A and B are shown apart, each in its own frame.
Chain A
Amino acid sequence: MDKQTAKIVARRKLEDRIFNALGIFCTLVALSTLALLLGDLLVTGLSRIDWQFLTSFPSRKAERSGILSSWVGSLVVMCVTGCTAVPLGIAAGVYMEEYGRKGRINTIIEVNIANLAGVPSIIYGLMALGIFVYYLGLGQSVLAGGLTLAVLILPIVIVSTREALRTVPVQIREAAYALGASKWQVISHHLLRYSLGGISTGVIIAISRAIGETAPLITIGALTFIAFLPTSPLAEPFPEHLTDWLHSPFAVLPIQMFNWTSRPTEDFHRNAAAAGIILIAVTLSLNAVAIFVRHRVRRHIKW
């Protein structure tokens, strides 16, 4: 190797090392920030989490407060969100990918759906305040809150449905059509089944985003302090209260947390940290479920 080449090689190696070090540094910055935040939260809040905390309503006394009304609120709101956004989003995704004619209008809709996913969530809150709360007269209810978050995550569900459908190879579609399947049979017997992993990953990620949303729900007037639960749909006399919970006022976990953070005293901050830990735990476990589902489906299907 002559001198010139040796010099170039040495230079390249140095460049490689510099970039490698830079990459490690950046990764560490991101990771340590996260670790610090989590650590701080855990140190402050972990000791506060106990049965009493999970089963008590909020109170003026920090040590008697709990997150019962807000976790139940989060749960019922997610029920409404999931039940509306999932079927609507999947159906819209299937339509756009399989039925809609590929043309200019489809492209415009496609670009706009991608844009919608990037609209700040408070804008959705304002829209929901106008449409759901006032125009449709749903009030500041579980139903209005759930629908607001449903609209918010709809683009995510649609986009992930389309992407999942697109991963099914054209050979599989042709195989099914060649046997005499109709379009709907191809979709229901094959495409939806094989893309279930991708679709459910998208749905779970969307739901875990919705759980953490605060701004749009504050905008539509979710409560920050609530000391009762929605009426159980099974309450006596039986079918009469079946839908009462939909019209009940509600609080959700992040709002409860926000409320506690804004109190001046230290012990309420501990409550906020504890609620934060629970929120993060729920979100992380949803993401873990998404990863698990994806791997499970991938094990059976490889194209």
Chain B
Amino acid sequence: MPPCKAEVKKLSFFYGTMQALHQIDLPLADKHVTALVGPSGCGKSTLLRCFNRIHDLYPNTRYDGEIILYPSGANIVDKSIDPIEMRMRIGMVFQKPNPFPKSIFENVAYGLRLKGITNKTELKDRVEVALTSTAIWEEIKDRLNKSAYELSGGQQQRLCIARAVAAEPEMLLMDEPCSALDPIASAKIEDLIRELRKKYAVLIVTHNMQQASRASDYTAFMYLGRLVEFGTTTDIFTNPKSKETEDYVTGRFG
């Protein structure tokens, strides 16, 4: 396995008294895509959302265990780690495209502004770089000042990815990024994910088995809050060790 970008160690997570994750262990390879698959309610999104501590926004949530981020070795879910700093270092893309009701430019520039960049030329350059890297620059370069809501769903999602990568995070989280998109727009996002892994460790939650097999290098199968099996995507799909994994990836349940 290539060098790790992050490593989940004995991570449990609680919503109040309800335990949603049980002792998860999962390595994430740098510059590779890891897919989290499993039936609805198995805890994939919950696990993904631990990485940027977005659970902290809601009351009565509790982490137990570690997510170590390399090379710094910091434990992301430790109370002493500032979640704001973590969120600047780890970008996230959501299930439904969620651009701000601002201009296209301001959407992408927002993460940079939060990092304290105010220089107009630098902002402009980095917005262009981000939009180019998400393959949307050519389509929208003439309407950067138009509202992001004028874009199609697929374009909005690529804009949201650009927004997440503009501040050059260390890692990218994607929570079913194609579930609200049509097949053509999904295919574009998948191409984009393959591009993004050249720079980032990508963790992606997906319900779509074809997508997992096409776009990811490693796959983790989760069930009922536990990690059942983890391996290279080829192994999980062609030679699964557990019966549950096999049933799920072949579409017999879930």
Contacts and interface: CB of A to CB of B under 8 A. Distances in A.
A300 B101 CA distance: 7
Given A171-B94, A300-B147, A301-B101, A178 B54 contact: yes
Contacts of B110: 176, 179, 189
Most buried by B among A174, A175, A178, A190: A178
B88 interface: yes
A171 B98 CA distance: 6
Given A180-B88, A180-B114, A300-B147, A175 B59 contact: no
Interface SS of chain A: helix, strand, loop or mixed? Answer: helix
Nearest to A169: B98
B114 A175 contact: no
Nearest to A171: B98
Nearest to B163: A179
A109 to B, nearest CB: 17
Contacts of B99: 175
A278 B167 CA distance: 56
A169 B111 CA distance: 19
B149 interface: yes
Nearest to B114: A180
B100 to A, nearest CB: 7
B160 A180 contact: no
B43 interface: no
Interface residues of B, number: 26
Interface string A176-218: 1111111001000110001000000000000000000000000
Contacts, number: 61
B98 A175 contact: yes
A182 B111 CA distance: 12
B85 interface: yes
B10 interface: no
B147 A178 contact: no
A178 B92 contact: yes
B59 A172 contact: no
B167 A179 contact: yes
Nearest to A302: B149
Contacts of B59: 101-102
B87 A177 contact: yes
Contact of A180 (B57, B85, B96, B101): B85
Contact of B88 (A102, A173, A175, A179): A179
A10 B164 CA distance: 61
A239 B163 CA distance: 51
B96 A179 contact: no
B117 interface: no
A185 B87 contact: no
B147 A179 contact: no
Interface in B91-125: 91-92, 94, 96, 98-101, 110-111, 114-115
Contacts of A190: 100
B114 A181 contact: yes
Nearest to B56: A177
Interface string A154-176: 00000000000000010111111
B34 interface: no
A180 B115 CA distance: 8
Interface string B124-157: 0000000000000000000000010100000000
Nearest to A180: B88
A180 B149 contact: no
A102 B52 CA distance: 23
B96 A171 contact: yes
B142 to A, nearest CB: 20
25 contacts: A101-B59, A169-B98, A171-B94, A171-B96, A171-B98, A172-B101, A174-B57, A175-B94, A175-B98, A175-B99, A175-B100, A175-B160, A176-B100, A178-B54, A179-B91, A179-B110, A179-B163, A180-B87, A180-B88, A180-B114, A182-B84, A189-B110, A194-B101, A300-B147, A301-B149
Given A177-B57, A189-B110, 18 more contacts: A101-B59, A172-B100, A174-B54, A175-B94, A175-B163, A178-B91, A179-B87, A179-B163, A179-B164, A179-B167, A180-B84, A180-B111, A180-B114, A180-B167, A181-B84, A182-B84, A185-B114, A302-B149
Interface of A: 101-102, 169, 171-182, 185, 189-190, 194, 300-302
